[in-house]
A = this chain, B = another copy of it.
């Protein structure tokens, strides 16, 4: 194998873009680096992949060490391998994003977590390494996936109002949605359970609470179904450029 020895000198890491939703904002969990390189800069949580660990395993480990959460939504997005992206040597990183219910998040005792903080995505500036680019890729992927699959619920508490849900979509898609059309669509999908409870202690008419019916979704998927969310912009008569096959 000596002919290949020279290739076995690189390392790889995972970096995890952990999204949460709170106070009407999409947020991301960042860590303030306490060591070189990029000391003092905000960075994505990540670490080297251990020799006996696969990629998803490493991403889950990073997430759990930081937040204590297991079994949350996690998706591989893209791998970044610019030659000089890491000063220690050739390090390529596999970027993941995960979706957590921000209230489930408990700061872990691990020292690294002491420096973790939620940042509104819209206010994140420069980051260490190429993490800004990684964040952007994950945001874009989230935006497109959230239209195709009911991921939004991963970010909300188990009980939520339709307005919560609408605000979540508005934050992710960076758009505004029509309240009546949104509700009509969501309810027509028949994936929400009316909990027959309402908010309490709000200074306005209390909203009904719902939960996502995951079992039903799984059943619908099995029947071959698509959850799809389209754009909706039609500012000045957007031309139709959709191509629709007619099986």
Q: Which residues of A are at the interface with B, using a C-beta cutoff of 8 A?
A: 1, 4, 6-12, 48-49, 51-55, 76, 78-83, 88-90, 92, 94, 147, 169, 173, 175-178, 181-182, 185-186, 188-190, 220, 224-234, 238-247
Distance A10 CA – B54 CA, assembled complex (angstroms): 13
**Which of B53, B178, B226, B243 contacts A227, CB < 8 Å?**
B243
Knowing A175-B247, A242-B226 touch, does A82 contact B54 (C-beta < 8 A)?
yes
**Which of B12, B181, B189 contacts A81, CB < 8 Å?**
B12
**Which B residues lie within 8 Å of A49 (CB)?**
7, 81
Q: How far is the CB of A9 from chain B (nearest CB, A)?
A: 6
- A245, B228: Cβ atoms closer than 8 Å: no
Knowing A7-B48, A175-B247 touch, does A242 contact B12 (C-beta < 8 A)?
no
- B9, A8: Cβ atoms closer than 8 Å: yes
24 A/B residue pairs, CB under 8 Å, sorted by A:
A4-B11, A4-B48, A7-B48, A7-B49, A8-B11, A10-B10, A12-B81, A49-B81, A55-B80, A76-B78, A92-B94, A169-B245, A173-B245, A175-B245, A177-B247, A178-B246, A181-B246, A182-B245, A225-B238, A225-B239, A226-B241, A229-B242, A229-B244, A231-B247
**Which B residues lie within 8 Å of A8 (CB)?**
9-11, 89-90
Given contacts A51-B83, A55-B81, 5 further A-B contacts (CB under 8 A): A9-B9, A52-B83, A92-B94, A227-B243, A233-B247
**Which B residues lie within 8 Å of A81 (CB)?**
12, 49, 54-55, 94
Could you say how many copies of this chain the assembly holds? 2
Distance A9 CA – B239 CA, assembled complex (angstroms): 53
Minimum-distance CB pairs A-B, first 9:
A178-B246, A181-B246, A229-B243, A7-B11, A228-B242, A55-B81, A177-B245, A7-B48, A79-B79
**Which of B94, B227, B228, B240 contacts A79, CB < 8 Å?**
B94
- A186, B243: Cβ atoms closer than 8 Å: yes
Distance A80 CA – B12 CA, assembled complex (angstroms): 12
- A220, B241: Cβ atoms closer than 8 Å: yes
Knowing A11-B10, A78-B76 touch, does A176 contact B243 (C-beta < 8 A)?
no
**Which of B51, B94, B229, B246 contacts A245, CB < 8 Å?**
B229
